[in-house]
Amino acid sequence: VDLDTIDLSNLNRQFLFRKHHIKKSKAHVARESALKFNPNVNIKSHHANIKDPEFSVEWFKSFDIVMNALDNLEARFHVNEMCMAANIPLLESGTEGYVGQVTVIKKDESECYACQEKPKKITYPVCTIRSTPSKPIHCIVWAKSYLFSQLFGTPDDEEEEIKEDMDADNAQEIENLKRETQELIKIREAIGSDNYPYLVFKKVFTDDINRLLTWEDVWKKRAPPKPLVYETLENGVIDNGTGQYSSNSGTLEDQRVWSLKENFNVFVDSVRRLSKRALKEKAEDPTASLSFDKDDDDALDFVTATANLRSYIFDIKMNSKFDVKAMAGNIIPAIATTNAIIAGNDCDASF
């Protein structure tokens, strides 16, 4: 049972899938691929959500064992609850980068998945994210949860990772930030134009930073931000970077930290790519908008480059595309060898 479809990025770690499978159901293609190994096995695939009503307690009771390979807590809690109700053993497995685990869950014999409290989602104060970042994650959350949605998504969406604490100390700054957001929404009217990357860059990396520099008291205790100038980076004056980058060229390239010039080039290019996609989707459906997906290379390029440019401004360590993917929304990139080991352990545990 799987609701997902196959994406290009799945091919380097989910070896049942091939290029011609892209956009097809993972569940159906996995069944077809497995039958090629053993045509005598009986497999029924469902391109569906495991929480759909058709997968009732009675449905779970029809199995001797249930094996989980889920990537979100909500679905894991649901399957755990259903297996407890059906009194069916559950093999709960998961991977996080280079580590993974397989846990046998059996009613009245072991603790269930919900028995231990899970980590709560981390949120960040809006003023820290928008005005005074001090860590790479602050810049990444700003790029992913704020700027991406303002430029390509639904501007009115509530950013779950950004917490708005309205009190006497920051009320005025929040009003300033709301005004900045309105200015950005107006700039969005130019999406798809040749100068859209320039307008966005000037707004968030020059004008907004110059406004922050007027906070003289704040910068007495920490290094002030350094505004960036579009024309300077375009001409390659600041930085000796090669200006070459690869958007999808393998793990080693993704683990390299881009130079300032490279980040600028990726920013401009990714804004153009995402703008083109956003306009195309809007033409087909007026209510359509883009949303960040860790496996969307255009979106990840944008977030990486944008977060790194902001990091440079605030004298924060810049990060590779691989590391940005790991930090964006607490996402842990999947690694093929880890998945293979855990899948093997899953099979062992079933016996």
What value does the CA radius of gyration of the chain take, rounded to a whole number of Å? 23
Chain centre distance of CA 138: 14
Q: Which amino acid is at 177?
A: L
* Average pLDDT score over the chain: 86
| pLDDT value, residue 138 | 93
CB 166 within 8 A of CB 174: yes
* Separation CA 247–CA 301 (nearest Å): 7
| pLDDT value, residue 158 | 44
Q: 302 or 219: which carries more pLDDT confidence?
A: 302
Task: Return the minimum-mean-pLDDT range out of 57-66, 78-87, 127-136, 188-197.
Answer: 127-136
pLDDT reading at 35 higher than 80: yes
Q: How many residues does the chain have?
A: 351
Q: Which two tokens stand for residue 186?
A: 């107006």
Tell me the percentage of the chain whose pLDDT exceeds 70. 86
Q: What is the pLDDT of residues 157-168, one digit of tens each?
A: 545 555 555 444
Task: Return the minimum-mean-pLDDT range out of 85-94, 244-253, 271-280.
Answer: 244-253
Q: Which amino acid is at 8?
A: L
Query: Which stretches of the chain are assigned E, i.e. beta strand?
Result: 66-68, 90-96, 99-105, 124-125, 162-163
Q: Which two tokens stand for residue 242?
A: 């090669």
Is this model's pTM higher than 0.75 or not? Answer: no
Region 82-95 average pLDDT? 94
Domains observed in the chain? 8-120+334-350 (3.40.50.720), 124-327 (1.10.10.520)
Nearest CA-CA partner of 310 in 124, 164, 123, 129: 129
Q: What is the pLDDT of residues 50-66, one digit of tens each?
A: 999 999 999 999 999 99
CB 66 within 8 A of CB 107: no
pLDDT band per the 50, 70, 90 thresholds, residue 253: confident
CB 3 within 8 A of CB 49: yes
Residues 6+ apart with CB under 8 A from 332: 95, 96, 97, 326
Q: What angle do CA 158, 162, 164 make, to 5 degrees?
A: 85
Nearest CA-CA partner of 194 in 268, 137, 244, 123: 268
The catalytic residues are 127
| pLDDT value, residue 161 | 57
Region 312-324 average pLDDT? 95
Q: 285 or 161: which carries more pLDDT confidence?
A: 285
pLDDT band per the 50, 70, 90 thresholds, residue 117: confident
| pLDDT value, residue 8 | 72
pLDDT band per the 50, 70, 90 thresholds, residue 244: very low
Highest-confidence segment of 79-93, 143-157, 205-219, 246-260? 79-93
pLDDT reading at 328 higher than 90: no
pLDDT band per the 50, 70, 90 thresholds, residue 247: very low
CB 262 within 8 A of CB 245: yes
pLDDT reading at 78 higher than 90: yes
Q: 292 or 202: which carries more pLDDT confidence?
A: 202
| pLDDT value, residue 248 | 47
Region 106-120 average pLDDT? 86
Tell me the percentage of the chain whose pLDDT exceeds 90. 53
Return the bridge partners of 163, or none: 125
Region 109-135 average pLDDT? 82
Let me know if 302 is exposed, middle or buried by CB neighbors in 10 A (0-12, 13-18, 19+): buried
| pLDDT value, residue 182 | 84
Nearest CA-CA partner of 251 in 322, 338, 332, 325: 322
Q: What is the pLDDT of residues 170-180, one digit of tens each?
A: 566 667 777 87
pLDDT reading at 267 higher than 70: yes
Q: Which two tokens stand for residue 17?
A: 């899938």
pLDDT band per the 50, 70, 90 thresholds, residue 333: low
| pLDDT value, residue 317 | 96
